[in-house]
Amino acid sequence: MRISLLFLLLSLLNACAILDPHNIVGRIKAIDAPPSVPVPDLTAATWKRDAFEIVWNTINEKYYDAKLNGVNWQAVRAAYEPQILSADSDDRYWELLDKMTGELKDAHTRVHGPKIAAQQRYQEVHSLGLGFLEIDNTLVVISTHAESDPWWAGVRPGMTIKTINGEPALALYRRLLTEARDTSTPWARTRGAVRKIVAGDPDTTVAMTFARMDGSEITATMKRRKFRTPPEFTQRVLPSGFGYIRFSNFVGSLQSGILQAITTMKDGPGMIVDLRNNGGGSGDMASTLVTKFLSETHKGGRIITRTGKPITLAFIPLMKLEPEFKGNKESAYTKPLVILTNENSASASEIFSGALQDLGRATVIGQRTCGCLLGYLGYADLPGGGQLAYSEIGFISSKGKRVEGVGVKPDIEMQPAREDILFNRDRVLEAAEHFLQQKVKTQSKGKNE
């Protein structure tokens, strides 16, 4: 009986714009559910026109900022519409539609074509399994997946990329960087250029030449493959005695384990929460984790919506415009805390790190974060099998700061160095442990005086 009533309520909400003005229920899906809008006959132009109109109109009418970040959205339409509707392939169509949304300079407002939507749904990536950064005017390999072609070709972190498909690698990368869709910050934009090189359909190939530190080279033609990307979580007590927690995303399946880990390591002298490469996820989960490190209740900043009113479902506010972080009192973790970040720490990672930094509860070490902190309520299906996300929530910190477009600035800033990557040295983690050791020593000295 409960199930029947629930489905009835969901059906009523889905059909009633008054009860569900943000179409939240219409965007709730199981991760393995196919799009509700089927892929039609690809010879017809109708779905492309319809998808374009839905994307442009939805952003125009529902984007959290009525001024659309100062962008002339009508001019954007005039510039992109002819290109999008005359695209010479479906892949190019979706790429241009996404690039149009990038004119808002907002990482959370984006379009995924059917291929990317499917990868996200099934927790996959299709790529070379290779990561790299530009460091000192050189493309430096920072990671290789153990099942990837680059790994089996002998490519290891610290090597440099010399050529890609016969072109000088750095020149190609910088050209792709100028062509990449715009986003919240210049450093976040680099991910688009990297994806242009490493991502693509399975079994497509890329030829690269890599240089070792001694100057010797490896040349290999490598295939893109499917890799699973399930959420990951690590916890341990380090040899130094400090607790260490690292997780890949703020997703519900990890929450209970993380909360339990914080409780388990409560008696340790200090803790490190490693959010490097954590792309975010649930803002509610970020807020819940914040409260585990607070004994008292604190203001959580301010929420911005287009109407100036809370987001509601069946007239029930889903979040307050001025939320609070409710302290956990005696069950809170109150020992010294360090949070590690880099340029890929985004969204919910920035809620967590920024809030605890502002409240003086944590020290942030590493790189400035992504600067990608807006909120969306789920993906909307598009004709043709694509999906649209659009920002409906803005955030102002308790100190009146915007993280979007700026990032969380570390208290102790550290940039990656090729030598550290080559020798597998984690200098940021070392700095965190050293900081905590000094903090604990200072606190002990204060107690004894």
Nearest-CA neighbor of 341 among 331, 332, 351?
351
Whether 239 has a pLDDT exceeding 70, the answer reads: yes
Whether 185 has a pLDDT exceeding 90, the answer reads: yes
| Separation CA 120–CA 32 (nearest Å) | 9
Nearest-CA neighbor of 103 among 86, 128, 79?
79
Taking CA atoms, 355 is separated from 132, 339, 405, in Å, by: 30, 11, 17
Nearest-CA neighbor of 366 among 293, 300, 273?
273
What would you measure as the largest C-alpha separation in the chain, in angstroms? 81
Whether 355 has a pLDDT exceeding 90, the answer reads: yes
Of 30-39, 121-130, 359-368, minimum mean pLDDT range: 30-39
Supply 168's token pair.
Answer: 């000088």
Q: What is the pTM of this model?
A: 0.90
The fold of the 124-228 domain, in CATH, is Pdz3 Domain (2.30.42)
Nearest-CA neighbor of 187 among 136, 134, 137?
134
Contact criterion met (CB below 8 Å) for 181 and 104: no
How do residues 133-181 score in pLDDT, each as one tens digit? Answer: 999 999 999 999 999 999 999 999 999 999 999 999 999 999 999 999 9
In the numeric block, the tokens 């490469």 are attached to 277
For residue 30, count CB atoms less than 10 angstroms from its CB and return exposed for 0-12, middle for 13-18, buried for 19 or more: exposed
How do residues 270-327 score in pLDDT, each as one tens digit? Answer: 999 999 999 999 999 999 999 999 999 999 999 999 999 988 776 677 778 999 999 9
The fold of the 233-448 domain, in CATH, is 2-enoyl-CoA Hydratase; Chain A, domain 1 (3.90.226)
Backbone CA torsion sign across 291, 352, 335, 323 = negative
How do residues 392-417 score in pLDDT, each as one tens digit? Answer: 999 999 999 999 999 999 999 999 99
One DSSP character per residue, 379-406 reads PEE-TTS-EEE---EEEE-TTS---TTT
| Separation CA 248–CA 234 (nearest Å) | 9
Delimit the domains of the chain by residue range. 2-108, 124-228, 233-448
How high does pLDDT run on average in the chain? 91
Measured torsion, CA atoms of residues 442, 445, 447, 449, in degrees rounded to the nearest 10: -140
Pairing status of strand 271-274 against strand 243-247 = parallel
